[in-house]
Structure 1
Amino acid sequence: MGKISRRGVVAGAVGAAAVLGGFREASARPFRAATTEEAPRPNILVILGDDLGWADLSCYGAPEIRTPRLDGLADGGVRFTDAYSAAAVCSPTRFALYTGRYPGRLPGGLEEPITLPNELHGIPPEHPTLASLLKQAGYTTAMFGKWHCGFLPWFSPTRSGWDTFFGNFGGALDYYSKMTARGRDLYEGEVPVESLDYYTDTIADRAAEFVRGATGGPWLLNVNFTAPHWPWEAPGDQAVSRDITQRLASGDQQALAHNDGGLLGTYREMVEAMDAGIGRILDALRESGQENDTCVLFSSDNGGERWSYQWPLTGAKGALHEGGIRVPNILRWPARIQPRQVSDAPVITQDWTATLLEIAEAPPAASHPLDGQSLVPYLLGGAGKPQHDLFWRTKSARALRRGQWKFLRQGAAPDGLYDLSADPRENANLTRHQPDLAAELSARWDEINAGLLPYA
């Protein structure tokens, strides 16, 4: 895939048109739940890709990448076209997913992302989380893969509600050696361990093993891949791994960023390896008889980076343009939700926290109110699309979406107002035509921001 053929470009354009056409069609019909009958509390499987772009799956229009297992997951449930990460980088989005709150509620959520151990930069063990609340409600909880919500000795998944953890604490690591600039980053619970297998496969296989063994009651499983985050290593790229590992050992702090490596073909193989691993987890669900009663959510922690396919969006990871925050989002729950649906409802990471807690009958903590809005009335109750403002901020940018409209202030650029239903590329600034709306959305952003911790 070092070259993109004309056929690939045409296929990508057709795919993107199908995606955009799909959400226009979806907006014209009500959402369809599978049944109004009661169903048992579901198992909950949450799968995150890392730096996966909005259109990096074939069901979202990728011209070359093939993701049959995620495409099948979408075919069995709902594909969301206007889903967002809570932030444009890794750590804050994970804070939002685990706490159900704006990242700026906690000091660690202000780090974009967390890079070094610090006693303030993490999810405090006493803070309620998706895992701790589900555990109180009788769920078994496990996490495999990337945590990135604080380092030992202060923070870890097993201190925040997960019974089982196998994975890495930081943001990136070599896929084979598991090395970072700070040393090896692979743990069983809080105990360092070694593994030289390809990390994507290891995460998937450990998750599938958990699913096969967890048949005694409801469970929460978080599967956090590092794919397709740099370094750019596909299955079989041990030589690349050895070079990066040697550079790390020699003190090269930029080795993992791998700015001198990668290819479109390598990226394709990384995404496809993740897709295959997800397939093994889904196979374990089916083979263990748990598929019907398991709610599966797939998303990404932010928009794509160097090699991502983002069309028709602009921007990438780190920015609040659509390419930095709009992400693929798939939900499947066969017992309750009909297959082959597409939704253009604007939803954001912390909405899923509220939704999963409600379907698990696990009340949120009154001491820590959720910022997300549960989608249960929309998904299961026949209600219309949720009507709520989506909010983002970085140290240099701010954004707010309300319905089809998005307010954006990026750096020193003039304020922008965009009609995303017609202009997903954010090229036509309508502030001059809609000054009152632009001012209203800006004021709403200020209102939300006033309740959050300020950046230092």
Structure 2
Amino acid sequence: MNEGLNRRQWLGAAAALAAAASLPAGAAGRPVPNIIFIMADDLGHADIGCYGGRIVATPHIDAIATAGVRLTQAYANSCVCSPTRLALLTGRYQYRLPMGLEEPLVRARVGLPADAVTLPRLLADHGYRTALVGKWHLGEAPFPGPLDSGYQSFYGIQKGGADYFTHLAQGQPVKEEDGLFDGRERSGDIGYLTDLLTDRAVAVIGQAARARQPLFLSLHYTAPHWPWEGPEDEAVASSLKDIRHYEGGSLKTYAAMLSSLDRGVGRVMAALRGAGLEGNSIVIFTSDNGGERFSDVWPLIGMKGELLEGGIRVPCLMSWPDRIAPGTVSRQVAISMDWAPTLLAAAGAVGGDWDGANLLAPLTGRAPVRPRTLFWRHKHNDQIAVRHGDWKYLRIKGREGLFDLAVDERERANRIAEEPAIAADLKQRFAQWNEGMLQYADGNYSYDAGAQAMDRP
């Protein structure tokens, strides 16, 4: 036995080598990596330390950046929840599917189609054990749920949010789809939701390690989405008649929610190390959209529900010790729908018709940054946005702006009067792209009507 290893470390390393020998081949003929995709909910761009966070320390999340790559130009597909999750799962613009037009998804009349090609389904076909732990929010029965969409196990909530202690919407009638679920049945587990999700994620990692099967774990926390409840707030929460959104909360409570999230990520990373899986595991940490009431988005402006940078630019970290140099910083422009083709490429799997780009080569340092052109729409306040290179065209309520994000990521210096040709080009690109997308029922996008210089507070 190597004197540098204790017995537990030696057994973990031996188990990892034995497991690797039985795995299908991934990128470049190597054993396929485990994939742990951690998504926070409503996390601000600067809520975590490695992006300049000032609210609370997040050492465990920051450690992913230390071990791998931190993206400075990462985006969510939408400024609200469900459309981003749809794009992540399908690798396509959410506006190609009817449920992607619900911003956010609040009605049960749409959901993920039964025949949708999804990332977990393709990975399951490639021999992966697939699990969703956390938030689904892609439609309720009779539409397909997680277990009908490629995940082999599910533990979490089906709807957009829940009380962290009761796991229900307080003050509202309990519906069939409410509550914490284990598979298709409601779970009776008691505890703070962030901790329960972490407990299950750790268990899933252990099960996959013992089975010597590659794992795709979607760990979609509800934190730090409202209600504003830290781990010690059960007594306060139980006294409320309903979930408080615009009432209550504080930076102190928000800090407690972030700390709980950070501790959970630390436990997940420790589970990977303990199972001897860390080296050949891809770990991604990101958010579904920009920050909310108590979030920090500095130096950006805007928040959830807006196509300003603060509403769509998100923290994004990726570690893969066997393939990514530690402490890397990348200016690669990326978006949620890129992860489906990128992760399938890492796994050596095929299939899918993607709008997203395979960014495996630039993120692992084997290719230069890849140029991107990205588009957003959001029905509320008639918003559109285009990013092409460093230029961003933005329209909100008929007011237009053009910003050079290379020098003005705060979107303060409107250049539309100085660069009319660039603005016209980006508007034309949007028009061509928009023709291929499903349209809102009220035809909300007449983007030449009533346009004027964008005012900035």
TM-score bin (small chain) = 0.7 to 0.9
Structure 1 segments of 4+ aligned residues over 3 angstroms from their partners: none
Who is 1:281 aligned against?
A: 268
Q: Deviations over 1:378-433 (max 9, x none)?
A: 134622111120111111100011111111011121x2110111111101110111
Preserved CA contact (<8 Å) 2:55 2:251: no
| 2:205–2:215 CA contact under 8 A, matched in 1 | no
Q: Residues 257 and 106 from structure 1, CA distance in 2 versus in 1: closer, same or farther, beyond 3 angstroms?
A: farther
TM-score (norm 2): 0.87
Q: Give, in angstroms, the shift of residue 160 of structure 1.
A: 0.1
Q: Give the corresponding residue for 1:219.
A: 215
1:63, distance to aligned residue in structure 2 (A): 1.5
Q: Give the match for residue 239 of structure 2.
A: 243
Matched, 1:167 2:156: yes
Corresponding residue to 1:448 among 402, 418, 433: 433
The answer on 1:152 being equivalent to 2:141 is yes
Aligned mates of 2:235, 2:335 — CA distance in 1 = 39
User: Equivalent residue for 1:410?
Assistant: 396
Kindly provide the CA deviation profile for residues 202-221 of structure 1, in whole angstroms up to 9, marking residues without a partner as x: 00110011101212121100
Q: Deviations over 1:275-333 (max 9, x none)?
A: 10011011000000000011011100000010001111110000000000000000000
SS of aligned partner of 1:214: helix
Question: 2:101 maps to which residue?
Answer: 110
- Structure 1, residues 70-111: CA drift from partner, whole Å, max 9, x if none? 111110000111100000000000000000000101111111
Give the Cα–Cα distance (whole angstroms) in 1 for the partners of residues 404 and 398 of structure 2: 21
1:119-158 to 2 correspondence within 5 Å? 121-158=110-147
Which moved further from structure 2: 46-55 or 258-267? 258-267
Tell me the number of residue pairs that the alignment of Structure 1 and Structure 2 aligns.
406
Query: Is residue 377 from structure 1 mapped to residue 373 from structure 2 by the alignment?
Result: no
Which letter maps to 2:398?
A
Shift of residue 37 of structure 1? 7.0
Is 1:317–2:296 an aligned residue pair?
Answer: no
Aligned counterpart for 2:33 among listed residues 31, 42, 66: 42
Name 2:406's counterpart in structure 1. 421
> In the alignment, is the contact (CA less than 8 A) between 1:178 and 1:195 conserved in 2?
no
Residue identity opposite 2:61 in structure 1: L
Separation in 1 of the partners of 2:117 and 2:46? 33
How far does the alpha carbon of each residue in 1:4-23 deviate from its partner, in whole angstroms, 9 at most, with x for none?
xxxxxxxxxxxxxxxxxxxx
Rg larger in structure:
2
What SS class does the counterpart of residue 401 from structure 1 fall into? strand
Instruction: Give % identity.
Output: 45
Deviation at 1:362, TM superposition (A): 1.5
Question: What's the TM-score, normalizing by structure 1?
Answer: 0.87
Alpha-carbon contact 1:54-1:60 (below 8 Å) kept? yes
Look up the SS of the partner of 1:231 in the other structure.
coil
SS in 1 for 2:39: strand
State the partner residue of 1:62.
53
Q: Is the 8 A contact 2:37 2:218 kept in 1?
A: yes
Distance apart, 1:258 and its partner CA: 2.5
Q: Secondary structure at the match of 1:179?
A: coil
Give the aligned residue type for 2:230. A
Task: Find the counterpart in structure 1 of residue 374 from structure 2.
Answer: 390
What CA distance in whole angstroms lies between the structure 2 residues aligned with 1:263 and 1:161?
38
C-alpha displacement of 1:364: 2.1
Q: Unaligned regions of 5+ residues in structure 1, if any?
A: 1-35, 248-254
Give, in angstroms, the shift of residue 182 of structure 1. Answer: 4.9
Equivalent position amino acid for 2:161 in 1: A
The question of 1:269 aligning with 2:256 is answered yes
Shift of 1:125: 2.2
What is the RMSD computed on CA atoms of the aligned residues?
1.3
**Superposition deviation, residue 377 in structure 1:** 2.5
Map 1:326-365 → 2, pairs under 5 A: 326-365=313-352
Question: What is the alpha-carbon distance in structure 2 between the residues aligned to residue 107 and residue 443 of structure 1?
Answer: 24
2: distance between equivalents of 1:126 and 1:209?
30
**2 CA distance for matches of 1:45 and 1:394?**
29
Q: Which residue type is aligned with residue 222 of structure 2?
A: T
Q: How far apart are the structure 1 equivalents of 2:127 and 2:189?
A: 32
